[in-house]
Amino acid sequence: MYVIRLVKIIRPSAGISVEPLVELAQQVPATQNNALSNPTNLVTFTEKILTSFMNYAMSFTCTQQQMAQRPNEMFIPLSVVQQWFDKFKSKLNANPNFWKDL
Ordered alpha helix ranges (H), 1-102: 21-27, 39-58, 64-68, 78-94
pLDDT of residue 34: 59
Cβ atoms 49, 92 nearer than 8 A: no
pLDDT of residue 30: 59
CA distance 37 to 30: 9
pLDDT, tens digit (0-9, with 9 covering 90-100), for 10-58: 666 666 777 787 777 777 665 545 555 676 777 888 888 888 988 888 8
CA distance 84 to 72: 25
Residue in 68, 69, 86, 90 with CA at minimum distance from that of residue 78: 86
Domain ranges for the chain, please list them. Answer: 35-47+76-93
Model-level pTM?
0.52
